[in-house]
Amino acid sequence: MKTETERKYLVEPALFDLKGIPHRLIEAGYYHESKAACPVAIRVTMNSRGVARICFKVGSGLSRTEVERDIEIPEATELLRWAPGRILKVRYSWDGWDVDQFLNQHDGLWLAEYEDEKAPTELPGWIDREVTGNPQYENSYLAFNPTPNPHLFDDEIPF
C-alpha cells in the first residue's frame, strides 16, 4: 500500500496548449460514490500496452491510502460492464502534472492533478483554482453525478 498525496485544480482549457503532450484515453468504472468508506475503481487505460488496473482508495482530501494492481483486460472489461458509475477522459501527463479532459456527461470539465505534498511554487497560467478536498471533483463522485458548477464552491479548501 502507498499513500497518495495529490493536489487537484480546475483548468482553464482555453489557456492550455496540447501540442506534443503525451496523452491516453482512460475509461473508469466505479462501484461506490466518494461518500463510501472505500471507493473501488476499475480503470482501463488505452495506450500501447493496453493496461487495466483495479484500484482501492481510502480517505479523502490531500492524502489517502491507495492500493492498485494490474489485472487482465478481459477481467477489466467484464468489471467495467457491471460498474454503475462511469467516466471517460483523456489524460495528458508531463513534469508531475496529470491533466484530465473529461468526455461524455462531463464534456467541458478539465481537472489537473499534481502528486506532491507541497503545492507547486508557481502555478501555470492555465490553472483556474485549487479544488483539493472538494468531494464534488473526485472521480468517484463524478461517475454518479452531474458536473459541478464551479461558481457554487468558492469557499476555502477544507484541509
Confidence (pLDDT) at 157: 45
Is the pLDDT confidence value at 133 over 70? yes
Across-strand partners of 57? 66
Q: For residues 19 and 29, what is the distance between their CA atoms, to the nearest angstrom?
A: 29
Residues that are catalytic: 30
For the ranges 28-42, 54-68, 97-111, the lowest mean pLDDT is seen at 28-42
pLDDT mean over 142-158: 67
Q: For position 34, what pLDDT does the model report?
A: 54
pLDDT digits (tens, 9 = 90+) for 69-100: 888 888 888 888 888 889 999 999 988 899 99
Going across the sheet that includes 51-58, the strands are 2-5, 63-70, 51-58, 40-46, 23-30, 85-94, 97-102, 110-114, 7-11, 127-130
d(C-alpha 37, C-alpha 26), whole Å: 24
pTM here is 0.82
More reliable by pLDDT, 100 or 25: 100
Please name the residue ranges forming H helices in 26-94.
73-82
User: What size, in residues, is the chain?
Assistant: 159
CATH of domain 2-146: 2.40.320.10
Residues 29-44: pLDDT tens digits?
888 765 555 566 677 6
Task: Show me where the domains of the chain are located.
Answer: 2-146
